[in-house]
């Protein structure tokens, strides 16, 4: 079994690479930081791959390399992500300067990186009846005043996963997403840490990603919550096909 993990050179991605390797998966550690990817690849006996997920041509070259090296791809973890809010910035700062400066980059990494990855890997995943997991965020289910663009892109990942579940299932491929809460990585700003909130370890979130990768096609399209030390649980959405009552108070006309 072969698994490719984006953002695999550090944090959640590196933790997932270690978990997959421990169960015998041949890991492809993909990261824009080639040196970081190589460190994790050396540790896990995997293959390091320099990959800018925001470029479609880079994805096509990466999947071609995997096909040449392994001849198959069973698992795809689309984990790479970035924020528009600069590291160390106060959560009380005005976010509009960050939006203007970083919008295109954040959208390209967080959204294009998922779409291009799925498109490029589709033939190999279909041949292997493979599985996809995307790293979204709790900010994909609620507002995030301190980084609206990050929140927007993570909402988009959830919409894509839910909307592609059926078409991918028809090809024998399962897909799901994990929404971490606060995670103990360098992306957490000092002022948030000062609030005393509990943060999940990168390995705990990686465990949730691994759980979703183990899900069958019958369970596809699930959005899973991973926060603190809790076991992951599936988020249930309201039924959008039923219109709201026009007479919520039950008043007789």
Q: Is 110 inside a domain boundary?
A: yes
Query: Looking at the predicted structure, is the pLDDT value of residue 188 above 90?
Result: no
Measured between alpha carbons, how far apart are the two ends of the chain, in Å? 63
Is residue 250 situated within a structural domain?
A: no
Count of the separate structural domains present in the chain: 1
Residue span of the structural domain in which 183 resides:
2-234
Q: What angle do CA 108, 71, 209 make, to 5 degrees?
A: 50
* Cβ-based neighbour number of residue 130 at 10 Å: 25
Averaged pLDDT of the chain: 89
User: Catalytic residue among 150, 153, 213, 223, which?
Assistant: 150
User: Residue 252's pLDDT is what?
Assistant: 43
Where residue 183 falls among pLDDT bands split at 50, 70, 90?
A: low
Whether 180 shows a pLDDT value over 80: the answer reads yes
Quick one: what percent of the chain has pLDDT higher than 90?
A: 71
Q: How confident is the model at residue 93 (pLDDT cuts 50, 70, 90)?
A: confident
pLDDT of residue 251: 42
Does residue 150 have an active-site annotation?
yes
| pLDDT tens-place string over residues 36-48 | 999 999 999 999 9
Count other Cβ atoms within 10 Å, centred on residue 79: 28
Q: What's the pLDDT score for residue 199? A: 65
* pLDDT score for 245: 56
Which residue from 183, 191, 181, 1 is spatially nearest to 88, judged by alpha carbons?
A: 191
Supply the pTM of this predicted model: 0.90
Asked, for residue 173, whether it belongs to a domain, the answer is yes
Distance (Å, whole) CA 181 – CA 28 = 26
Residue 217 lies in a domain: yes
Q: Does residue 246 belong to any structural domain of this protein?
A: no
pLDDT in tens, 102-121: 999 999 999 999 999 999 99
7 against 190, higher pLDDT: 7
Asked if residue 241 is part of any domain, the answer here is no
| CATH number of 177's domain | 3.40.50.720
Whether the predicted pLDDT of 240 surpasses 90: no
Question: What dihedral do alpha carbons 140, 141, 145, 147 form, nearest 10°?
Answer: -10
* pLDDT given for residue 202 in this prediction: 87
């Amino acid at each position: 079994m072969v698994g490719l993990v984006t953002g695999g050179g550090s944090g959640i991605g590196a933790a997932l690479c270690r978990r997959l390797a421990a169960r015998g998966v041949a890991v492809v550690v993909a990261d824009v930081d080639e040196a970081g990817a190589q460190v994790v690849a050396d540790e896990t006996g995997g293959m390091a791959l320099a990959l800018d997920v925001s470029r479609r041509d880079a994805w096509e070259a990466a999947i071609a390399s995997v096909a040449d090296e392994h001849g198959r791809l069973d698992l795809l973890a689309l984990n790479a992500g970035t924020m528009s809010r600069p590291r160390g910035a106060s959560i009380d700062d005005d976010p509009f300067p960050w939006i203007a400066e970083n919008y295109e980059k954040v959208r390209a990494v967080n959204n294009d990186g998922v779409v291009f990855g799925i498109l490029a890997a589709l033939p190999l995943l279909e041949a292997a009846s493979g599985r996809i997991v995307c790293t979204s965020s709790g900010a994909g289910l609620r507002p995030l005043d301190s980084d609206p663009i990050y929140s927007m892109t993570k909402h988009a990942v959830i919409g894509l996963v839910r909307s592609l579940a059926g078409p991918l299932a028809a090809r024998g491929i399962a897909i799901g997403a994990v929404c971490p809460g606060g995670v103990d990585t360098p992306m957490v700003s000092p002022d948030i840490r000062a609030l005393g909130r509990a943060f999940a370890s990168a390995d705990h979130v990686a465990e949730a990603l691994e759980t979703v990768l183990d899900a069958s096609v019958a369970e596809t399209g699930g959005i899973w919550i991973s926060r603190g030390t809790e076991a992951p649980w599936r988020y249930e959405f309201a039924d959008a096909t039923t219109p709201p009552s026009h007479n919520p108070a039950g008043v007789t006309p």
